């Protein structure tokens, strides 16, 4: 049994290591690099980042709603009411939003008053929101088997 586990880990771990940076690179491209290449001034760049943050927030809201629907379906299949699980999701999401906003404020303050203030906040908001939406998709897929 131990040999089988070691063989599985030998093949699975390297694939996970290569998958994670690709996901991070995709998020970085969406939230930072695209705006850098599409704009020529700082105000345009900040406006682009703001639009990206808004789009990421919309994607997060959609993923949140999709996960709530999946929880309801899963509870129905199990013959249960999803109240406890939905309350836990809502509580976790409220705490996560507080974390995200605080963390992005911190990142924005690292500009030390330079012209990147505001842009750093939007880029952070975009990045963390897309990562959270991906987490919701993972939960739906892995935990709820949808």
Mean pLDDT of 2-21: 38
Q: Match 């959609």 to its residue by tokens.
A: 62
pLDDT in tens, 60-98: 999 999 999 999 999 999 898 999 999 999 999 999 999
Which of 42-46, 53-57, 62-66, 126-130 comes out lowest in average pLDDT? Answer: 42-46
Mean pLDDT of the chain: 82
Contact, 55 vs 123, CB < 8 A? no
Contact yes or no for 74/144 (Cβ under 8 A): yes
Determine whether 124 is exposed, middle or buried from the number of CB atoms within 10 Å of its CB (0-12, 13-18, 19+). Answer: buried
What is the value of pTM for the model shown? 0.78
Q: And the tokens for 107?
A: 């990142």
CATH domain 24-143 topology: Substrate Binding Domain Of Dnak; Chain:A; Domain 2 (1.20.1270)
Q: How many whole angstroms separate alpha carbon 10 and alpha carbon 8? A: 5
Encode pLDDT of 18-34 as tens digits: 333 346 567 777 777 88
Q: Give 14 or 139, the one with higher predicted confidence.
A: 139
Q: What is the mean pLDDT of residues 112-119?
A: 76
Domain ranges of the chain: 24-143
Structure tokens given for 29: 């491209």
Nearest to 119 by CA among 37, 53, 57: 53
């Amino acid at each position: 049994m131990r040999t089988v586990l070691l063989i599985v880990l030998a093949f699975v771990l390297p694939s996970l290591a290569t998958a994670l940076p690709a996901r991070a690179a995709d998020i970085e491209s969406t939230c930072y690099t695209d705006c850098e290449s599409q704009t020529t001034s700082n105000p345009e760049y900040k406006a682009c980042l703001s639009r990206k943050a808004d789009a990421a927030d919309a994607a997060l809201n959609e993923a949140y709603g999709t996960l709530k629907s999946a929880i309801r379906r899963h509870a129905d299949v199990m013959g249960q009411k999803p109240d406890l699980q939905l309350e836990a999701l809502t509580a976790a999401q409220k705490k996560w939003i507080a974390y995200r906003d605080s963390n992005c404020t911190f990142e924005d303050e690292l500009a030390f008053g330079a012209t990147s203030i505001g842009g750093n906040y939007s880029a952070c908001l975009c990045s963390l929101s897309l990562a959270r939406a991906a987490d919701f998709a993972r939960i739906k897929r892995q935990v709820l088997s949808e």
